[in-house]
């Protein structure tokens, strides 16, 4: 591997001159520049990124970690998010260091290691929770970080997020327009931040179309298929007149559970009994019936968090609109709400 020294020798100049030519950081005479460039080309020279990093105190690496989920869940959104991050990072001149964290206990150690060894310049967080120790740690050390997902009360840091409220409200309006008047929701437990916003969208949607809120139509479920099933069962235990004619689910996995339960019971999923998911996971369109769902703008979020993080790292100021970015989801209408 050729170094700057080799190029300097080959071109008959000092290494400083080579550096100035390569980085275009000071005027160099035509002739010398030509010789240097020529020598660099001949030797196939590339500056060592490590030496640069040491000198500059920057690695041009951004870290992203995710928590392992049981394989039967998959984590389609975060998977797509990794892709989006990688792409966006590359465009910004960075690379992505991706590390799955083991158990939540040892998680913070890994962050400390990465930060304190100077492995990465900044960190992207996702799936933050209310009292997130990673946030506490990073905030306290002043290390650059951003999150996919809004900050909990008491925190203030840059984030980008999907506007779950708008997404679910859209779903409510969609169902209302199809004639539904008793619309239920399978929501996450109250300690889920993202779940709260989506639930707000439910309330907001009901208000927009002038429907009364009925607590009996809200079931709190965990993120699992069998929980979706359980949620629907619980709704169907209501007296017939009080049963919903449509159900909004706070994730596609839950929607799959609800749909499976409905179909098992012979409910006509479609126009008469509507089911809406959230995420638009890749197979949503291939389910039977294909699932109407709220699509998260994952690529845009990846792009947004990288922009924010790079600004932080490079110490460019962020105004309020850039610090907190809420991206609009889209409603993808399929047969699970429209099939006759």
Partner DNA sequence: TCACCTTAGTTAAACGTTTAACTACCTCCA
Partner DNA sequence: TGGAGGTAGTTAAACGTTTAACTAAGGTGA
Give the Cα separation of 60 and 71 in Å (integer): 32
- Reported as type and span, the H/E element at residue 247 is strand 246-249
Nearest to 236 by CA among 252, 258, 253: 258
**97 backbone dihedrals φ, ψ, rounded to 5°:** -100, 115
Could you tell which of its own copies, DNA, none binds residue 83, using a CB distance below 5 to 8 A set by kind?
Answer: its own copies
Distance in Å, CB of 83 to its own copies, minimum: 5
User: Does 20 participate in binding DNA (rule CB under 7 A)?
Assistant: yes
Closer CB to DNA, 31 or 177, in the complex:
31
Closer CB to DNA, 54 or 328, in the complex:
54
Name the one residue in this structure whose structure tokens are 């989506």.
Answer: 198
Give the Cα separation of 62 and 96 in Å (integer): 5
Closer CB to DNA, 55 or 210, in the complex:
55
Alpha carbon distances (Å) from 271 to 120, 202, 239, 261: 51, 20, 21, 17
Could you tell which of DNA, its own copies, none binds residue 152, using a CB distance below 5 to 8 A set by kind?
Answer: none
Token pair of 290 as six digits: 């294909």
Closer CB to DNA, 70 or 93, in the complex:
93
Residue range at the interface with DNA (CB under 7 A); choices 10-18, 183-191, 220-228, 273-281:
10-18
Binding to DNA by CB under 7 A, coded x per residue (else -) over 34-73, reads -----------xxxx-xxx-xxxx----------------
Q: Which of 29, 44, 140, 210 binds DNA (CB under 7 A)?
A: 29
CA 89, 90, 94, 100 torsion-angle sign: positive
Q: Which of 10, 13, 96, 146 binds DNA (CB under 7 A)?
A: 13
H-assigned helices in 72-217:
76-91, 104-116, 133-141, 164-177, 193-208
User: Does 211 participate in binding DNA (rule CB under 7 A)?
Assistant: no
List residues binding DNA (CB under 7 A): 1, 3-5, 12-17, 19-20, 22-23, 25-29, 31-32, 45-48, 50-52, 54-57
């Amino acid at each position: 591997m050729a170094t700057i020294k080799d190029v300097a020798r080959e071109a008959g100049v000092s290494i400083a001159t080579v550096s100035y030519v390569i980085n275009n950081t000071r005027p160099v005479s035509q002739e010398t520049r030509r010789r240097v460039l020529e020598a660099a080309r001949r030797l196939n020279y590339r500056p060592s990124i490590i030496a640069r990093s040491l000198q500059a105190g920057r690695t041009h690496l951004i870290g992203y970690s995710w928590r392992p989920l049981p394989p039967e869940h998959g984590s389609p959104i975060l998977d797509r998010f990794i892709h989006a991050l990688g792409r966006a990072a590359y465009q910004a001149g960075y690379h992505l260091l991706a590390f799955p964290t083991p158990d939540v206990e040892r998680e913070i150690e890994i962050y400390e290691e990465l930060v304190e060894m100077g492995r990465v310049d900044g960190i992207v967080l996702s799936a933050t929770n209310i009292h997130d120790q990673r946030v506490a740690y990073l905030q306290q050390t002043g290390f650059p970080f951003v999150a996919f997902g809004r900050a909990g009360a008491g925190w203030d840091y840059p984030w980008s997020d999907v506007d779950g409220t708008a997404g679910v409200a859209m779903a409510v309006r969609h169902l209302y327009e199809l004639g539904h008047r008793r619309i239920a929701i399978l929501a996450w437990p109250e300690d889920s931040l993202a779940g709260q916003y989506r639930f707000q969208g439910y309330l907001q949607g009901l208000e927009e179309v002038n429907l009364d809120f009925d607590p009996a139509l809200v079931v709190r479920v965990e993120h699992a298929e069998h929980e979706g099933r359980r949620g629907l069962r619980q709704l169907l235990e209501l007296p017939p007149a009080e049963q919903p004619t449509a159900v909004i689910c706070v994730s596609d996995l839950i929607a799959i559970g609800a749909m499976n339960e409905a179909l098992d019971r012979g409910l006509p999923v479609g126009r008469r009994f509507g089911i809406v998911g959230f995420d638009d996971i890749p197979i949503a369109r291939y389910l039977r019936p294909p699932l109407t769902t709220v699509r998260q703008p994952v690529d845009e979020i990846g792009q947004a968090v990288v922009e924010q993080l790079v600004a932080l790292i490079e110490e460019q100021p962020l105004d309020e609109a850039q610090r907190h970015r809420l991206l609009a989801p889209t409603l993808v209408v399929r047969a699970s709400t429209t099939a006759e």
